[in-house]
Amino acid sequence: MRGFSRSRFAVTAVLLASLASAGTIATADGLRGSSPYADKGKGKGTNVLVVGIDRRDGISAKDRNRLHVGGKGCNCTDVMMVVHLAEDGKRMSVVSIPRDSYVEFADHAHPRHSGKINGAFAHGGGDLAVRTVEKATGLRIDHYLETDFVGFASTVDRLGGATVCTDTPLSDLGSGLKLAAGTHRVDGNNALRYVRARHVSPPGDLGRVRRQQRVLIGMMSRLRAEGALADPAAAFLTAHRLLTSVRTDARTSVVDLMRLGAVLSRLEADRTEFVTVPMSDFDHRVPEWGSTLLWDKERSAALWAALREDRTVIGDPDIRPSMKVPVEFPPAALPLRVTDAEVARALRANGFVVEDAAGRPGTPRPKGPTVITYDPYWARYAPTVAAALPGAQLRPVIGHGQVFTVTVGSEGATVVEIVHDRSSVEGAPAPGGTLLCAEPGLAG
């Protein structure tokens, strides 16, 4: 059993950004000698497992109210990321592992079994969480980091806040998030609410994961631009402070944190990449575990192979082989009414349920683009319809009903192939630079 120091919970995104403030000179290869897991798995570079534990013990009532973290914790990993630093120190790959991923646990005191990956911590602490990730991915984990709600918020405040952005207002009762449209510099309290929100668009854990990734790259880029990554004295102080709120494995020291930060400090946003493990089943039902997520065997295997071989995940056709446009909802769940028979046939071939193809032969089309009309109540489904009809305009109409109406205009309509793949809607491989918020016009 590996030894771990005391800690609580964190959201991984900002934690790694915090580490980026260290500024000594080292390479990723130089870290491998300090890894307590060097005999586990194969591969080049350095792998850091960063987790957040959903545990409320030890948090005062005042802090629970302030951070909006009431309720009962599960003592499980709520957030999990594998951060891969290339052996030459010139690339960082961040892979988010959704907490409901259904995997086989590493050997422990219980009979061998599978379950949601977030339950590994509840069964055997950080040690089992690490070994389960190693078993599921084939990667060697070199370092393990973990912190809590309070530690996360205080770290964001200590580093000068976080930058977040949204095209539309966001409101989530569960996390307490209330955010106007635009770009904002937020404190630790509101950053926590932003990365914990599950009931905003895009909803659920996969949308939340991408928000965590955005906060991570945003803080890394800002700290680097402000020169906070190049001062060795400040680096040591920051790393030392992190150890008061960050839990590590027994052989990850303040020096290791500084070395990790040194590698990160040299990486611009375009030398980073973010991805969520590809999924094949988004509602795999298992007794005692409920609804779980199944990894896509071929695509996830290609992802882990790329990291073991120290290759970029961007552009790898085996990780995202489909040329179809990924959508969040299965098209068969969305009833359509279409005014053009040819377009209706193409949409049916795409999996949509077309209730009827209105419009008589020879009837002139309305001038302008194709329009998709829908009731605002069904707004979260509209992007799935729009994805199949690039260039079409979305038109919400109160009282329109559950059926989406596709009115083909004089400009015509092109139907493209789509695929139900929620993990690629918000989690496809993306360069870090594409996830950054625009800095001008910050609001308080």
Do 241 and 264 lie in one domain? The reply is yes
Do 316 and 415 lie in one domain? The reply is no
Q: What angle do CA 91, 92, 98 make, to 5 degrees?
A: 150
> Strand 76-85's sheet: what is its strand order?
246-248, 143-147, 46-54, 76-85, 92-96, 272-276, 430-431
Beta carbons within 10 angstroms of residue 115's beta carbon:
21
pLDDT tens track of the chain, all 444 residues? 344 433 333 333 344 444 333 322 222 333 334 334 334 445 789 999 988 877 777 777 887 778 788 777 788 888 899 999 999 999 999 999 999 999 999 998 888 899 999 999 999 999 999 999 999 999 999 988 887 777 778 778 877 889 999 988 999 888 899 999 999 999 989 998 998 888 887 777 888 899 989 988 988 887 777 766 566 666 666 666 656 656 777 767 767 777 777 777 778 899 999 999 999 999 999 999 999 999 999 999 999 999 999 999 999 989 987 788 999 899 999 999 999 989 999 999 999 999 876 656 667 889 999 999 999 999 989 999 999 999 999 999 999 999 999 999 999 999 999 999 988 888 999 999 999 987 644 443
User: Is residue 5 one of the residues assigned to a domain?
Assistant: no
- The reported pLDDT for the residue numbered 33 is 42
How far is Cα of residue 207 from the mean position of the Cα atoms in its chain? 7
How far is Cα of residue 131 from the mean position of the Cα atoms in its chain? 22
Query: How many whole angstroms separate alpha carbon 430 and alpha carbon 274?
Result: 5
- The reported pLDDT for the residue numbered 344 is 93
User: Is residue 197 one of the residues assigned to a domain?
Assistant: yes
User: Is residue 26 one of the residues assigned to a domain?
Assistant: yes
- Tally of helices (H runs) and strands (E runs) in the chain: 12, 22
Query: How many whole angstroms separate alpha carbon 91 and alpha carbon 310?
Result: 9
DSSP designation for 331: G
Domain count, the chain: 2
- The reported pLDDT for the residue numbered 53 is 79
Do 106 and 20 lie in one domain? The reply is yes
- The reported pLDDT for the residue numbered 36 is 40
How far is Cα of residue 121 from the mean position of the Cα atoms in its chain? 20
- The reported pLDDT for the residue numbered 360 is 60
- Whether the Cβ atoms of residue 392 and residue 372 lie closer than 8 Å to each other: yes
- The reported pLDDT for the residue numbered 239 is 62
Write out the residue range of the structural domain in which residue 404 sits.
Answer: 327-420
Do 280 and 379 lie in one domain? The reply is no
Query: How many whole angstroms separate alpha carbon 151 and alpha carbon 157?
Result: 10
Do 22 and 163 lie in one domain? The reply is yes
**CB crowding 294-325: b at 16 or more within 10 Å, else e:** bbbeebbbbbbbbbbebeebbebeebbeeebb
How far is Cα of residue 391 from the mean position of the Cα atoms in its chain? 28
Query: How many whole angstroms separate alpha carbon 80 and alpha carbon 184?
Result: 25
Query: How many whole angstroms separate alpha carbon 406 and alpha carbon 350?
Result: 15
- Whether the Cβ atoms of residue 312 and residue 87 lie closer than 8 Å to each other: no
Query: How many whole angstroms separate alpha carbon 312 and alpha carbon 225?
Result: 24
Q: Which helix (H) or strand (E) holds 284?
A: strand 279-286
Do 35 and 118 lie in one domain? The reply is yes
Backbone angles phi, psi at 117, to 5 degrees: -60, -25
DSSP string, 163-198: EEEESS-EEETTTTEEE-SEEEEE-HHHHHHHHH--
User: Is residue 444 one of the residues assigned to a domain?
Assistant: no
User: Is residue 109 one of the residues assigned to a domain?
Assistant: yes
Do 177 and 198 lie in one domain? The reply is yes
CATH number at residue 314: 3.40.630.190
Do 38 and 164 lie in one domain? The reply is yes
Question: Cα separations (Å) of 103 from 292, 296, 320, 421?
Answer: 10, 12, 21, 19
Do 353 and 229 lie in one domain? The reply is no
Whether the bond between 390 and the residue before it is cis, its omega within 30 degrees of 0, is no
Which residues fall within 8 angstroms of residue 101, CB to CB, at 6 or more apart? 116, 117, 136, 277, 292, 293, 294, 295
Residue 61, both tokens: 């009532």
Do 225 and 252 lie in one domain? The reply is yes
Do 134 and 278 lie in one domain? The reply is yes
- The reported pLDDT for the residue numbered 369 is 96
Query: How many whole angstroms separate alpha carbon 282 and alpha carbon 356?
Result: 30
Do 250 and 104 lie in one domain? The reply is yes
User: Is residue 181 one of the residues assigned to a domain?
Assistant: yes
Pairing of β 102-104 and β 162-166? unpaired
Question: Cα separations (Å) of 409 from 105, 206, 374, 404, 422?
Answer: 54, 35, 16, 16, 30
User: Is residue 206 one of the residues assigned to a domain?
Assistant: yes
Enumerate the H helices of 114-161 as residue ranges. Answer: 119-137, 149-158
